[in-house]
Chain A
Amino acid sequence: MLHRLVYRSRSTIPPSEAEAETARILARASGANAKRGITGALLLADGQFLQAIEGPLAEVEALFERICSDLRHRDVQLLEFAPAEDRLFAGWAMERIDHEDELLSRLPLADGEGAPAEPMLAPLAAQLAAGRTSA
């Protein structure tokens, strides 16, 4: 069953190395993800990661567990974890995006059927709002 997981975290990578390290993570991730039927998107902005992962439940959980064992970030906050109708990032083993909107606009935020996801997405929306005002 296809599941989607969205989380946010704070990078612990020194800012000067953040770009190169993120590129490395992505390079490794795209190969590994393609093998496991995972697609998704990753954003690094203002020292924060925002990532969406979608794929078979077991694979999504296994990858999230690996990511949660990774010391290159901290304060991992789960924003969404629910069954998904179809992939939002089909064709991308792990797409690098530059703006939150690119990810958030694709999520079914106002979707009535995604009821359990809604409360979890509220902080995300709030963060988005905060991000916009601070930017």
Chain B
Amino acid sequence: MLAYRPGVPVAFALNATVGSFVLAVLLVGKGSLLAIGLPGPAGRTLGGIVSGLAISAMHYTGMAGYDVPGTLHWAPGWVIASVGAGVLLTILSSHASWSRQPAVRRLAPTLLILGVCATHFLGMAAVSVTPDPLRQIRPGALSVETLLVLVTNAALLVLALGLVAVWVSVRFERRRRAEERRLRDFADVAVEGLLICDGERIVGLNRSLEQMLGRRRESLLGRSLAEILPGIPAADVPVGRERDATVTDAAGTPIPVRIVAQDIALGESAHRVIAIRDQRERLSTEAEIRRLAHIDPLTGLPNRRSFAESLAERLGPAARHPGRLALIMLDLDRFKPVNDTLGHAMGDALLRRVAGRLASATREGDLLARLGGDEFAVLADVAGAAEAEALADRLIEVARRPYAIDGHVLEIGASAGIALAPADGRTPDALAQSADIALYAAKEAGRGTWRLFETEMTTRRQQRRALELDLRRAVARAEFEVHYQPQIDTRTGAFTGAEALVRWHHAERGNVPPSVFIPLAEELGLIVEIGEAVLRTACRDAASWPEPLTVAVNLSPLQLRSPGLVDQVFRILGETGLAPHRLELEITESALLQDDGTSLAALVALRERGIRISMDDFGTGYSSLSYLSRFPFDKIKIDQSFIQLAPEDSGSASIVRAITTLGARLGMAVTAEGVETEAQRRFMQQEGADQLQGYLISKPVTAEVAAAMFHAARAREAS
């Protein structure tokens, strides 16, 4: 405004001049603040307008202080042009200063100066002065020269201020953006979902959360927190300690998470950052670990532990059963030989098939488990015993069917014990014990069958335990005695020897029959020791009998399989001085039935050294004939069941006849056991049996009596 010097002396009124200056500073400052405070093009435009108007305001208030001796005339067109050009140029300057391109930014001050100049010069062109000598320059007005300096300085100061403000704000804005970007990058590398909330409003989230929810950042910004975290207001998310929660993904599927919050200051307001940790993987891993701990990896069935848990649960106080709970324990029969002879791989394949079949025999809701080895168990709700029995029957039936595996045919069986809760046990242990006892009873009954628990089974089991204990004690103390039942030659009636029979006399039990304790001794493996003691005693006793009387001693299957048998027999013969040809070893067919070759080899070795081998209880086994062809027995003993029915029972009579004929053909002597009547003796004699043994000849007698009998007979023969 000082650019124009009309041809008259001029001065500026002091107050108006200073006022114009202050106004300009204020307004340009305000313009800059607007541009900073209101981001975006609108703010910049507004800032430009305010700054532009400020420049005009400064010019025209300044002109109000223009003291001339004359009258001022304003041309409105020029005034509008002056204000418009100023405003336009400051708007451009304002926009330029925010530009991303440095070249454009550098234009900003020039544009502002142009704005100031345009306002000024166009404003001066708008004015014309008509000199009026009556008007005096008021005292106290500044001289034009002084004002010129002042106003120029002020304009530059305004300019500088505006520029500094713009520069500071641009720097500040850029730093803020960089920081924001760095923060977001940082958040995005986090594995956890992160959410920034302003109150309940979502104002930020990271990439992990986008992925977890399957939603884009843009679709969540500004939305309510409840949309993804229903039921938990931001304020309720705990700080410093995690809590379980559920978030909802894009498809509305709930995702289990753990959440924790942290308050941070963003700008002037407090915000809440919520960390959201996806629990799906952890939960599924945990579930998998729990599953693995509860299944049998071989068959995929629940394992013992899982079964125990289910049993406890179903017997527990929470369980309500209208009917009864059946526990079926199932053991495979003859599984071990498969595993031993065909290998574990075959055993495993077989167990898998068994599991499959058992599963097909169970009903919906029944629980089938593999307890280990070849033990399985089923837990079933049943209305009564009959239902449990039918189930056990089905289980055994499917298990017993043949298996075709890798070209092999395997035949096994199964035995089962059933216990019903609550009658047979209220606790898991009690019920399981009852089922075990029933299973044991099923095995004792010959396997391949089931037994329902009965209380007497427990008693019987206890009795058996007691007997077992007594038997072990008897073996340790060598409480067994050997008695002898003499045998005679059918034709001459002369003694040929005797069969050694073991006797057990127990202080309280009295005489325990061999039919009771021998099977038990077999089962417990005690028979090997008992057998050795009997053999030693028999050999010692027989050594005192007149020549060539023989002693027959029974060999159990277990003895026959024990590897040291041949050495043991000859050691005993050496000890007792009995000649090998006076010892006869009796074996049963069942001993050879389980043979894997070693038994037969032992028999061959014994026979080669003069010991005689006889087949005991002939006719009761399965494949009698094949054994006779496989081993050259010296003697066949016809089972007493045939003798006792003969000669009246025609079937038995013909069997006896067949056996004696067979013996004659094979060159084997035939002995008839259990001969009790004269009719039987005559029949045997007539059929050609070589030897007789039985009550008709003599009952079993003690060693002394036997020895006395034999010596007396010898004396009679001699006389």
Contact = CB atoms under 8 A, between A and B. Distances in A.
A81 B401 CA distance: 14
B402 interface: yes
B397 A74 contact: yes
B402 A78 contact: yes
Contacts of A5: 404
Contact of A70 (B360, B405, B406): B360
A66 to B, nearest CB: 9
B652 to A, nearest CB: 24
B357 interface: yes
B404 A71 contact: no
Contact of A65 (B353, B406, B407, B409): B353
B402 A7 contact: yes
A40 to B, nearest CB: 14
Nearest to B358: A69
B404 A60 contact: yes
A36 B357 CA distance: 21
Given A69-B398, A71-B394, A74-B397, A61 B356 contact: no
Contacts of B401: 68, 76
Contacts of A68: 357, 398, 401-403
B360 A65 contact: no
A57 B402 contact: no
Contacts, number: 43
Interface in B386-413: 394, 397-398, 401-407, 409
A65 B356 contact: yes
Contact of B357 (A57, A60, A69, A75): A69
Interface in A45-78: 57, 60-61, 64-65, 68-71, 74-78
A78 B357 contact: no
B360 A78 contact: no
Contacts of A57: 406-407
Interface residues on A, range: 10 to 19
Contacts of B361: 69, 71
B402 A76 contact: yes
Nearest to B411: A78
B394 A65 contact: no
Given A7-B402, A76-B402, A78-B402, A71 B407 contact: no
Contacts of B404: 5, 60-61, 64-65, 78, 81
A5 B408 CA distance: 12
A81 B353 CA distance: 18
Nearest to B359: A69
B276 to A, nearest CB: 49
Contacts of A76: 401-402
Nearest to A77: B402
Interface in B547-567: none
Interface in A76-90: 76-78, 81, 83
Interface of B: 353, 356-357, 359-361, 394, 397-398, 401-407, 409
When A and B form their complex, which 4 residue pairs have the shortest distance between CB atoms, in order from nearest? A69-B360, A78-B402, A76-B401, A68-B401
18 contacts: A7-B402, A60-B404, A65-B353, A65-B356, A68-B357, A68-B398, A69-B356, A69-B357, A69-B360, A69-B398, A70-B360, A71-B360, A71-B361, A71-B394, A75-B397, A76-B402, A78-B404, A78-B409
